[in-house]
Each structure stands twice: as structure tokens, then as C-alpha cells.
Amino acid sequence: MKRNLILCVLLYIFVSGAYAEESVLEHPAYAYAVVVSAATYSDPEWQKVAEKLVQKHSAKIIKWDESVEEAKNELAEIMPKYTAFLARPEEAGHAFVVQVSRMCRELDDDPYVDTFWGIVTGYSAEDALRIVSREEPLIVTRVLDATGKIDLNKFDQGTCFDEFDRGFVNEKFTGKPVAKRPCDDDDTQEFIAAMRHLNPQLIATSAHATERDWQMGYKSPNMKMDHEGGQLFCTDTDENRSSMTNDEPKIYIGSGNCLIGDIDQADCMVTSWMHSGGAYQFIGYTVPTWFGEMGWGTLDKFASQGGVYTAAEAFHFNNTEIIRMIQDKYPQHVKTNLENYEADMDGDEIYRTLNVEKSDPDAADLIGRLYDRDVVAFFGDPAFEVRAKPSVIVSISKLKAGKYAGCWQIKIDAVSDGAWSDKGETYFALPYSMKSVKVVDTDLTGDIDYADNFIVVALQGNYKKGDSFRIILKESAN
């Protein structure tokens, strides 16, 4: 991370919200790359998906033969803002996710993600083509939360099941406050009804899961969801099984589920949600989860920050935050990669390997962050705008006249009351990777922290509808 400027702004009145981005293609490099194996590209149906991405994003195609890492040098040369890794399901499993995550952090010398990446796949090429063909942004106003962590008041409508408050369901209807009502301990019929009548645009889940199923109950039995031939099914505690289909476009975030993001075969939970559940983006662990920072942090940034982040930004900036915490406490390990995710993460061997002491109060967090950093998958087009209902609008534009002609302006306008993250920092994506950035004007005082494709602003407290703020940045050669 370059430290020419770190904006330490302690604001108590400010903003958070949706982007209206301009001029990303003014940068001479490609803004978007499609990385695809030669074998996948040779399949006419999957080639249609690649060609759609090229047409939609003016993208450059990069092909590989034996390993996706063959694309690294060309990606580093063009440094696209977005990279879609187009892959058939048999290519898109855990090992592929780890390779992609690591490679996208290694396109330059800093330890951060250098391109917003997503793996484009589907139960079939037809599913993948449908997913990448959507043009209209998905602004989430209706949520189905099975984690108990989402504040329904931030959305127009929602249903929330909380494992630690079994026998009750929380509901939010447009224009009304959240209300709790009793329900059966078995949530199967309530869940199916919410899927049918709420038509959620965000589904968030936790509790037990595998590549084959999601078990809604953590402490005791509850609904089980599984799949067959790309079709989702819900089974209650009396073993009554019924199909569940919903084609409302949505994002699925398995924030607290083990393995649900691992595509170990064509017919799995990820691809079935894409095929019969309406998922256009899917975020989930490819390994057992125990530390949880990558999953829960992504959900928090997406659902709790007033729409300041797209889903891809929430995912990648949460990853960036994890890396910054590693760098802060253990800079010698900021580029360390774990070799075995099945090893005992609390055993003496891992501590010896990392040369840290078990008695060090931060050592367990180091291991957890190294574990989480590369094992959560983002499926879908990373440039497809999916964001929570915004409480501010964030616009990025290149100024064409006046004192700051040629500079970039980040402008934030609050459209409703809200609050910044309790972590005290907010990230903003730059329009493309810049060698060096200088703040030439701002309403704020202090420093700004930046890498080549983002800035991070320290913000605290609340903001009010009508608040407005700007940062003007100038790109320089060094």
C-alpha cells in the first residue's frame, strides 16, 4: 500500500451509497478481461458466453491451456479493473478458487487484489449466458436472512430467521417497522412461503452445509435444502420433500456455511442456485469455515453499509481489509500462503511453520486470516452492479473543465440518514489502476491511504440526508 496520503477523517456527518461511474474506458488499457481455458472456449456453447462478455464489456480474451496461472503475465500487463474467469463447473472447484485469488493479488508488488475478479460458470452454458446477459443493475430492496445478522430496517421488505430465536420470525413490510411473530420450530414452510411471496433479491445463510446441501438448523434439526439435476429441494423435519424454484434475480451469500461455495461437480449447491434459484452472483466458502472473517465481513459490507459497495466491491474490499490487518500485525506474513487447508489450524505445527508463538494473543487471528483470505469464492460477473438499497449516491467522474480539468472527482451525496461502518473505514474503488495519486482538493483534512486501485477513508459516526462531500484526485507518474 502506498502511503503518500492516508485520509484519517473523523466525520460525524457524512454519507454512504451507490455509484454512478463514468469514464472507466478513458484509460487506454482494457477495463475488462475474460480468462478462459482453450478447452472451454472450444465448446461452442461456452464460447457464446465469452463472446457475450466481450460484447458487453469491450473485453480482452486471455486463454490458458494447462493452468489458469498462464494468464498472469498478460493480466499484469493490461491490469484490467475487472476480470471474469469463465469456467465450466469441472474447472471451478476449490483449487481453482485458491489459484485465482492468489494470482489476482500478485499482478504487482503490493499484497492487495489488483483486479475485481469473479468466476463465471453455471449448471450449463445456457445458465451462464443468461447470467452475463443481464444489463439492468440489481438494487436489493427485499431480503431473506437466515443468519439473524441483517438489519431489515435497511430494506423495504424482508424475512429473518434466527437460529438463536427459534419459533419466531421477523418480518419487514414496505413502510412499516420490523415485527416479530411466532412460527413453527421447523421453518420449512415459512422459508418456502418467503421465497414464493417475498421474491428475495438477497439470501444470506449460515449453519451447516456441504457442496450437496444446506441444513438450516445449527443447534437442532430444521429444514434441509439439497438439489438434484440442478433443481433445488426443501425437506422438512418429517422428511417431506418438495421442489423449490424461484427465478427472481438475486445474490446468495453463504456467510457462515462450510463448503457451500465449492463446485466439486456440475450438480452442486452453487450451480443449482444458478439453475433453479435465480442466483446471478454467489459467494461462499470452498472449505470448512471456522474463523469466518471473509464470509461475515463480506455480508456486513454488502448489507449493512447503505449500498456504498457493490457485491464485488464488498467481497474484494473485505479481502483487502483482512490483508491490511495481517500487514499491521505480521508484515512478514502479508504474502504468506497456506499450503494445506486440511491441517490442524490450532496445532503446534502451524505455529512452528509461521514462526509465531501460541501465547501471542494475535497469532490465532493471523492463522485465521491466512486461512480465510483465499478460500471464499465469488461467482458471477464482477462488473454486474448488485448493491443493497443505497442511503447515498457515490459518483466518480473525470472533470473536463475548470481548475481541476483532467482530475478525478469522487462525490458522495446522502439520500437518507445513515451511519458509517463501526470499523471506522470506508473503501472507494478508483476507475482503474493508477501508479500514483495525489489529493488536490477535498472538503476534509488529513491524510488518505491508497493503493493503485482504491483509496480508504477513515469515517465515523452518522450522516444526514442532504450531506455532500467530494475528493478530487490527480493521477501522477510516480
Residue 130 is predicted with a pLDDT of: 98
Residue 478 is predicted with a pLDDT of: 64
Distance CA 340, CA 256 (A): 21
- Sorted by where each begins, the domain ranges of the chain are 7-17+391-476, 25-133, 138-313, 320-375
DSSP states along 249-292: -EEEEEEE-SSTT--SSSSSHHHHHHHHS-EEEEEEESS--SS-
Residue 447 is predicted with a pLDDT of: 59
Distance CA 291, CA 296 (A): 10
- 259: how many CB neighbours lie within 10 A of its CB? 23
Residue 424 is predicted with a pLDDT of: 81
**Hey, is 409 helix, strand or coil?**
strand
**Hey, is 118 helix, strand or coil?**
strand
Fold of the domain spanning 7-17+391-476? Immunoglobulin-like (2.60.40)
Unique residue bearing C-alpha cell 483482512: 322
Unique residue bearing C-alpha cell 469463465: 86
Residue 445 is predicted with a pLDDT of: 56
pTM over 0.75: yes
How far apart are the two ends of the chain, measured CA to CA in Å? 14
Residue 5 is predicted with a pLDDT of: 47
DSSP 66: S
Fold of the domain spanning 25-133? Rossmann fold (3.40.50)
- Please classify residue 87 by burial: count the beta carbons closer than 10 Å to its beta carbon, then call 0-12 exposed, 13-18 middle and 19+ buried: buried
Residue 68 is predicted with a pLDDT of: 98
430: left (phi over 0), alpha (psi -120 to 50) or beta: beta
Alpha-carbon Rg for the chain in angstroms: 22
Distance CA 299, CA 204 (A): 8
Residues of the chain with confidence (pLDDT) below 50: 2-17, 19-26, 28, 446
Half-sphere exposure of residue 417, counting CA atoms within 13 Å on the CB side? 2
Distance CA 90, CA 25 (A): 33
